[in-house]
């Protein structure tokens, strides 16, 4: 993972003597640990990685992760694995590997306070700097291996998205549909869901971050399904909206407006464009409709080791898109008490446009109730 480590150091001036990534226990795992140490298997609780300016990496882990760690290191000559049996051994390892009075970069965005105190106590003369911004920037642009995994995660999500209409039956609950979506992704090779699946029926579809419950599907309900797969730690994120007949003319027009807004955002995507332009392209379409003000979130975000991978596109995002970024495009319109529509796809930014990663049908679909 030499290239990834060098990418982080490139944006640091002055450069620290080393970077340290520390995992606590689930769910407090630093996903950037897995950015510099590319292993698709293992939990790696309590593990740590020291990255050096020459691109080399030293990883400490327990015997629980020994096989996964050694398998990953076997394919990378720049990685050394050190087995430790208890936390005191890890403290000794840090003291041995890090310069006592050096400058050490930490990813404060993910580091627990407890782990920071442990590091600082073991190296009282060290200077600590926050390198979180450089880490997030490095993670924005995906290398070929990352793109391959995101593409497969998106393929899995796309296949399941096409199958959702066949799952819509009178009486199925939101939770049952969410479970079926996740089950089918796993059957297709996903290593897990990339976030808690959202399924909202009727008025619940107007809540962007709704948690599925026991509401049963009945004719006349709109449906929003927001889901994604992990594949070898990399995420996809897709949303599709449906109507369980009969037709609601207003919500049909809402769907058509959201689809047009997404197309406007697609047309704005290319390397060098500020993220806000992608958002504003969708917002202009929605603001020109009867539902001005009902688009209540940014139009998208980056995806990668996390489903929200450190870059968001809102109306004030000045940072430009870059070739190799994987992002979502997800405009929505939400009518409280009635229902909502969101359409979300994953794309890979190219110099002159984008490559679509998710392929599920986006147009209005009414399933007979």
Secondary structure element (H or E) that encloses residue 200, with its range: strand 198-201
* Span 63-72, pLDDT tens digits: 999 899 988 8
Work out the percent of the chain whose per-residue pLDDT is above 70: 100
Class of the CATH-defined domain 2-140: alpha beta
pLDDT at 365: 96
Phi, psi for residue 101 in degrees, rounded to 5: -110, 20
Distances in Å between the alpha carbon of 153 and those of 194, 229, 231?
9, 5, 5
Domain boundaries, the chain: 2-140, 144-367
Work out the percent of the chain whose per-residue pLDDT is above 90: 94
Residue 179, pLDDT above cutoff 90:
yes
Distances in Å between the alpha carbon of 357 and those of 148, 218, 226, 347, 361?
10, 32, 16, 5, 13
Lookup result for tokens 């409280």: 336
Q: In the predicted model, what is the mean pLDDT of residues 12-41?
A: 96
Residue of 188, 305, 324, 284 lying closest to 237 (CA atoms): 305
d(CA 197, CA 261): 24
pLDDT at 6: 97
* Span 66-103, pLDDT tens digits: 899 988 888 889 999 999 987 778 889 999 999 999 99
Secondary structure element (H or E) that encloses residue 308, with its range: none
pLDDT at 339: 97
Q: Are 69 and 79 in contact (CB under 8 A)?
A: no
* Span 302-340, pLDDT tens digits: 999 999 999 999 999 999 999 999 999 999 999 999 999
pTM of the model: 0.95
Cα dihedral 183→258→276→155 (10° resolution): 30
Question: Mean of the per-residue pLDDT values for the chain?
Answer: 96
Class of the CATH-defined domain 144-367: alpha beta
pLDDT at 360: 97
Q: How many other CB atoms sit within 10 Å of the CB of residue 53?
A: 15
Provide the pLDDT confidence category of residue 234 given band limits of 50, 70 and 90. very high
pLDDT at 218: 97
Same fold, 2-140 and 144-367: no
* Span 118-138, pLDDT tens digits: 999 999 999 999 999 999 999
């Amino acid at each position: 993972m030499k290239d990834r480590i060098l990418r982080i150091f490139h944006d640091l001036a002055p450069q620290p003597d080393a970077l340290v990534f520390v995992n606590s226990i689930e769910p407090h795992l630093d996903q950037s640990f897995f950015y510099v140490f590319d292993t698709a298997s293992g939990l790696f609780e309590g593990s740590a990685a020291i990255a050096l300016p020459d691109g080399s990496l030293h990883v400490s882990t327990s015997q629980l992760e020994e096989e996964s760690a050694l398998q990953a290191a076997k394919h990378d000559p720049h990685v050394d694995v050190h087995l430790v049996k208890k936390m005191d051994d890890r403290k000794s390892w840090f003291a041995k590997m890090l310069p006592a009075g050096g400058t050490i970069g930490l990813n404060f965005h993910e580091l627990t306070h407890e782990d920071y105190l442990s590091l600082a106590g073991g190296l009282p003369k060290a200077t600590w700097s926050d390198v979180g911004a450089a880490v997030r920037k490095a993670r924005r642009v995906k290398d070929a291996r990352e793109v391959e995994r995101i593409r497969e995660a998106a393929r899995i999500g796309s296949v399941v998205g096409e199958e959702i209409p066949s799952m819509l039956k009178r009486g199925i609950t939101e939770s049952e549909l969410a479970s079926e979506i996740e089950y089918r992704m796993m059957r297709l090779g996903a290593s897990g869901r990339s976030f808690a699946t959202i399924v909202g029926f009727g008025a619940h579809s107007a809540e962007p971050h709704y948690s599925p419950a026991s509401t049963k599907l009945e004719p006349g309900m709109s449906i929003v399904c927001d889901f994604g797969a992990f594949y070898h730690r990399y995420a996809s994120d897709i949303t599709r909206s449906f109507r369980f007949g009969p037709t609601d003319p207003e919500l049909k027009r809402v769907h058509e407006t959201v689809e047009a807004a997404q197309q406007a955002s697609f047309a704005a995507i290319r390397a060098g464009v500020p993220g806000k332009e992608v958002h504003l392209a969708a917002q202009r379409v929605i603001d020109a409709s009867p539902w001005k003000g009902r688009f209540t979130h940014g139009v998208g975000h980056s995806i990668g080791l996390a489903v929200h991978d450190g870059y968001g596109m809102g109306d004030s995002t000045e940072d430009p898109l870059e070739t190799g970024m994987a992002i979502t495009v997800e405009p929505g319109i939400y009518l409280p008490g009635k229902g909502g529509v969101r359409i979300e796809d994953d794309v890979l930014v190219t110099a002159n446009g984008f490559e679509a990663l998710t392929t599920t049908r986006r147009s209005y679909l009414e399933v007979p109730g």
